[in-house]
Chain A
Amino acid sequence: MSLATTQSIADIRARNKQLIEEVLKVYPEKTAKRRAKHLNVHQAGKSDCGVKSNIKSIPGVMTIRGCAYAGSKGVVWGPIKDMVHISHGPVGCGQYSWGSRRNYYVGTTGIDSFVTLQFTSDFQEKDIVFGGDKKLVKVLDEIQELFPLNNGITIQSECPIGLIGDDIEAVSRTKSKEYGGKTIVPVRCEGFRGVSQSLGHHIANDAVRDWIFDKLEPNGTPKFEPTPYDVAIIGDYNIGGDAWSSRILLEEMGLRVIAQWSGDGSLAELEATPKAKLNLLHCYRSMNYISRHMEEKFGIPWCEYNFFGPSKIAESLRKIAAYFDDKIKEGAERVIEKYQPLVNAVVAKYRPRLEGRTVMLYVGGLRPRHVIGAYEDLGMEVVGTGYEFGHNDDYQRTAQNYVKDSTLIYDDVNGYEFERFVEKLQPDLIGSGIKEKYVFQKMGVPFRQMHSWDYSGPYHGYDGFAIFARDMDMAVNSPVWKKTKAPWKETPRAKLLAAE
Chain B
Amino acid sequence: MAQSAEHVLDHLELFRGPEYQQMLDKKKMFEDPREPAEVERIKEWTKTPEYREKNFAREALTINPAKACQPLGAVFASVGFEGTLPFVHGSQGCVAYYRSHLSRHFKEPCSCVSSSMTEDAAVFGGLNNMIDGLANSYNMYKPKMIAVSTTCMAEVIGDDLNAFIKTSKEKGSVPAEFDVPFAHTPAFVGSHVTGYDNALKGILEHFWDGKAGTVPKLERRPNQAINIIGGFDGYAVGNLREIRRILELMGIQHTILADNSEVFDTPTDGEFRMYDGGTTLEDAANAVHAKATISMQEWCTEKTLQFVAGHGQDVVSFNYPIGISATDDLLVALSRIGGKDIPEQLARERGRLVDAIADSSAHIHGKKFAVYGDPDLCYGVASFLLELGAEPTHVLSTNGNKAWQTKMAALLAGSPFGQSCQVYPGRDLWHLRSLLFTEPVDFLIGNTYGKYLERDTGTPLIRIGFPVFDRHHHHRSPVWGYQGGLNVLVKILDKIFDEIDKKTNLLGKTDYSFDIIR
Contact = CB atoms under 8 A, between A and B. Distances in A.
Interface of A: 26-28, 30-31, 56-70, 82, 89-93, 95-100, 104, 106, 108-112, 116-125, 127-128, 135-136, 138-139, 142-143, 145-146, 148-149, 151, 158-160, 162-164, 191-195, 197, 223-224, 240-241, 244-245, 247-248, 251, 257-260, 264, 266-269, 272, 338-339, 342, 345-346, 348-350, 414-416, 419, 433-435, 437-444, 456-458, 462-463, 466-467, 469-470, 480, 484-486, 492-493
29 contacts: A27-B136, A59-B132, A59-B133, A67-B93, A70-B93, A70-B97, A91-B191, A92-B71, A92-B97, A97-B97, A120-B65, A123-B187, A125-B188, A128-B152, A146-B51, A159-B152, A162-B122, A192-B90, A248-B19, A345-B4, A414-B140, A435-B96, A435-B99, A435-B110, A438-B103, A442-B269, A456-B10, A484-B268, A486-B269
B283 to A, nearest CB: 26
Given A248-B19, A442-B268, A456-B10, A415 B188 contact: no
B153 A484 contact: no
A241 B33 contact: no
A492 B270 CA distance: 7
A193 B120 CA distance: 9
Contacts of A443: 270-272
A97 B65 CA distance: 13
Interface stretch (B54-62, B233-241, B375-383, B414-422): B54-62
Nearest to A463: B3
A195 B137 CA distance: 19
Interface string B26-47: 1101111110001100110010
Contact of A272 (B30, B135, B269, B272): B30
B318 interface: no
Given A67-B91, A224-B30, A266-B32, A416 B114 contact: no
Contact of B272 (A61, A339, A419): A419
Interface in B417-470: 430, 433, 449, 452, 456
Contacts of A159: 90-91, 151-153, 156
A366 B483 CA distance: 49
Contacts of A442: 109, 266-273
Contact of B140 (A128, A416, A462, A467): A416
Interface of B: 1-6, 8-11, 14-15, 19-20, 23-24, 26-27, 29-34, 38-39, 42-43, 46, 51, 54-55, 58-65, 67-69, 71-72, 87, 90-94, 96-101, 103-104, 107-119, 121-122, 129-130, 132-137, 139-141, 151-153, 156-157, 186-189, 191, 266-273, 430, 433, 449, 452, 456
B268 A110 contact: no
Contacts of B8: 466-467, 469-470
Nearest to B64: A118
A64 B69 CA distance: 20
Contacts of B433: 110
Contacts of A117: 63-64, 430
Given A108-B39, A125-B188, A486-B269, A91 B156 contact: no
Contacts of A493: 270
Given A247-B23, A439-B272, A92 B72 contact: yes
